[in-house]
Amino acid sequence: QGCNTMTSRTSSPLYHPTMTDPDMGVKMRNQRLLITVIPHAMTGNDVIEWLIQKYNITEEEARHLGGLLVQYGYIYPLRDPRSLLLRSDDSPYRFQTPYFWTSSRWPASELDYAIYLAKKNIRKQGELVDYEKENYSILHKRINHTWDFVVMQAREQLRASKQRRKADRIVLECQEQAYWLINKPCVNMPLYYHYTTTILLRYYYYTTIIHRRALGRNRVKSSICLESFMKYSEQYLHHDPIMSGCLPSNPWISDDTSHWTINTDMVGTPTRLRVERWSFSFMELLNDSMGRREFMIYLEKEFSAENLCFWVACEDLRHGESSKIILKVEEVYKNFLAPGAARWVNIDSKTMERTLEGIKRPHRFIMDDAQMHIYFLMKKDSYPRYLKSELYKNMLAKAIVPQETKKSVFPFMRRQRHSSPSPAMVTQATEDDGKAKGAGPTGTSSTTNSQI
Amino acid sequence: MDGVLLSKLKNLIKKTVESSSTADHGASGEECKTMLDALNKVTACYRHLVIALGSTSDSQNLREELKKTRKKAQELAVANRNKLTELLKDKTTSKDDRAEYERLWVLFTSSMELLEVDMKRSLEIGQEFPLKVPTRHLIQTGMTGSTTTVAARAMSVQNMKYDADSNIDTADLKELQTEITQVGQMMEEMEMKVQVAPWAVEAKQEAGAELKSTLSVGNSSVGVISICEEDARSCPGDENCCVCIPNGTDSPYSPLL
């Protein structure tokens, strides 16, 4: 139980103040190194004794707990620094400074490690330990772009330490070394983790591809984006029923549905606004079924109607039923792509080659390249000519501009709202064929209401 | 003035302007390096001071040293950033000069990286170890000396002057928080404005370059190393005894008193 309270604290077990307290903490001794005396050293034994007393735990628990403190770097051994054990004898240990406590918030960085190795290199006149030499050369390659900084900073950090008195300098070196023994980043991959290596390599490979692709994407400056958005808004301002109202009147307000009826797909004479929109962009023209029909008429005059037919067939393939895909691809090929086809479309050779290859394994998007080619052909060539043609101009002249309905004389008078017959009722009425009409439960009153 | 003379005059002016601008760049480059060296020094000193936080070396003075050093670092950071941004935005620099300025830029951003982390850490540790409390709970790390000479080095002064209030350990933290945000913003801005690809920069120093310098690590440290080497002869297999503690000549470890 004592162990749990100690290690469950979020920041560190030494946040509990008494362990390092001069009066109530672990017994402190001096460490003498030749003529230098460094305070605040403790024996492993003392640490364990203190833990036993403080937390009222067994020696085994205390050893385990103390061992954790050493493993995680809150306490470090002064003799045998690489052996991260808490020995229950007079082996010397010392508390680590808060900056060097292991923390997931502050993971050790490769840059810091490189600086440390460079410092050690200077201090040891090049005599680094084997794995340190390896790590050094790996880091030198990996973060080469900032290596000058590594050297500069290493030198300056050493110069700063030189300012301290000798005892403190020694402690600093021990602290740093202890920290890096535990926290050095895994610069090298151990050989026997081959399986993990391959997984990691694959991960890196794909991440690199994704990032390369992202780098290569076209980016548009927001200033340009916003400009085109402004242009779009200006262009469509008069076509927006909310911003500019709609003629003859807004059906939701006036209950007059003429706005909808004069704008249906295949109405006799289109509205002027609608025909104007065909000139905004090619997609506007194609998306309007009447526009498409008109465009088809024009293309037939120019003997290039097969382009639009092909485009329509490709759209049908893309958005149609999966079960009919193979059939449709065959049809498209027969009608538009096969040599000598009735409505052969003029696609460049590369795209044609690719498409014909792809037809062997047909799927929904197999015609995309060809479709796009024809789309751009029409957009650049036929579409601008259509807009200048007599056909279009006549359409525009013929188009109607509905009159705005006069507002009622008493504008503030509220019209009585009445609901239209419920669709459920309509189906019932047709079911009750022959029975008395209008014999539904509630809605019948609506038909007898008069408009005010 | 006739046409020929006029055009000759124009060419002469153009050449003078060009040569003076390249001369300017030469001087600017040197100026930049000096400023970067200063920033580098202050960054190293600041880190040294933050390491002492929360330990028995911690004191009111240390907190004031941290504050002063930090402010100095920020001054230098802004100066460096302005200079470097100016140099990098200039389209007329030669390719070599540009490469050099990009290298300096990487040095600058690396320095700022360390500085930012250390500022955040000093906030965290400073909060965990308040000084103005009835009983201070500082970690007994064995470090007991003062850090005043380190701070003096950072500030480039002979002696540090201390004039802060006694509640600096808490009062300064709020400022520190604001400054951390500022530094973060500055770094983001920098990344946006200046397009330098850090991975494209090549270091001038080769591996092991630090060994070639005439830097003397200091008398006492050399003394430390020599003691270790003597030990190495007496206990050749055990590399551990030379690691950091300069041991007595006979026993592998020093007895505790």
Could you say which of B51, B218, B239 has the minimum Cβ distance to residue A129?
B239
8 Å CB contact of B245 and A79? yes
Among residues A317, A29, A230, which one has the least CA distance to residue B255? A29
Residue of A159, A173, A222 to mutate, interface with B, max B Cβ within 10 Å: A159
Give residue A415's pLDDT band: very low, low, confident or very high (50, 70, 90). low
Q: Residue A337 and residue A317: Cα distance in Å, rounded?
A: 15
Exposed, middle or buried by CB within 10 Å (0-12, 13-18, 19+), for A218?
Answer: exposed
* Alpha-carbon gap, residue B114 to B40, rounded angstroms: 10
**How far is Cα A51 from Cα A343, in angstroms, rounded to an integer?**
92
Shortest Cα distance, chain A CAs vs residue B25, angstroms? 21
**Which of these, A39, A40, A1, lies nearest to A19 by C-alpha position?**
A40
Longest Cα–Cα distance of chain B, Å, equals 96
Give, in order, the Cα–Cα distances in Å from A85 to each of A69, A170, B130, B243, B251.
Answer: 9, 22, 32, 17, 21
**Predicted confidence (pLDDT) per residue in B155-203, tens digit:** 998 888 888 888 888 888 999 999 999 999 998 888 888 777 777 788 8
**CA separation for the pair A152, A161 (Å, rounded):** 15
Distance from CA of B202 to the nearest CA of A (A): 5
Looking at every residue in chain B, the average pLDDT score rounds to 77
Residues A6-58 have pLDDT tens digits of 333 334 545 455 788 888 888 888 888 888 888 889 999 999 999 999 889 99
Q: Share the mean pLDDT of chain A.
A: 84
Question: When comparing pLDDT for B146 and B255, which is higher?
Answer: B146
Residue of chain B whose alpha carbon sits nearest to that of A125: B211
A353 min Cα distance to partner chain B (Å):
41
Contacts of A173 in chain B (CB under 8 A): 244
Question: Which of A152, A164, A167 is facing B107, going by the closest CB pair?
Answer: A152
In this complex, which of A14, A81, A166 lies closest to B139 when CB atoms are compared? A14
Q: Which of A12-16, A413-417, B149-153 has the highest mean pLDDT?
A: B149-153
* Residue B148, CA distances (Å) to B68, B70, B249 in order: 12, 14, 33
Express each pLDDT in A59-75 by its tens digit. 999 999 999 999 999 99
Angle made by CA atoms A266, A271, A275, in degrees to the nearest 5: 85
Over residues A185-194, mean pLDDT: 54
Is the Cβ pair B143, A171 closer than 8 Å?
A: yes
Q: In this complex, do A33 and B245 lie within 8 Å of one another by their Cβ atoms?
A: yes
pLDDT of residue A225: 92
Residue A262 contacts residue A272 (beta carbons within 8 Å): no
Comparing B94 with A449, the larger pLDDT belongs to B94
The predicted-structure confidence for B88-144, as pLDDT tens digits, reads as follows 888 888 888 888 888 999 999 999 999 999 999 999 999 999 898 888 888 999 999
pTM: 0.56
Name the residue with tokens 């047709």: A430
Taking CB atoms and an 8 Å limit, are B147 and A164 in contact across chains? yes
Instruction: Flag if A167 and B53 touch (Cβ within 8 Å).
Output: no
The string of pLDDT tens digits covering residues A149-183 is 999 999 999 999 999 999 999 999 999 999 999 98
Cα dihedral A158, A161, A165, A167 in deg (nearest 10): -90
Region A67-94: what's the mean pLDDT? 91
Mean pLDDT of A182-204: 65
Give the number of other Cβ atoms within 10 Å of residue A427's Cβ: 10
Question: Which region among A267-281, A318-332, A425-439, B33-47 has the lowest average model confidence (pLDDT)?
Answer: A425-439
Average pLDDT over residues A90-109: 90
Mutate to test the interface with A, among B47, B65, B111, B243 (most CBs of A within 10 A): B243
Phi, psi angle pair for A412, to nearest 5°: -90, 5
Mind listing the pLDDT tens digit for each residue in B69-91?
999 999 999 999 999 888 888 88
pLDDT of residue A116: 95
| Mean pLDDT, range B219-234, rounded to an integer | 31
Given this model, what pLDDT does residue A265 score?
87
Distance CA A72, CA A66 (A): 10
DSSP A416: P
Contact between A78 and B209 using a beta-carbon 8 Å cutoff: no
- Residues A301-316: what's their mean pLDDT? 95
Cross-strand bridge partners of residue A271: A400
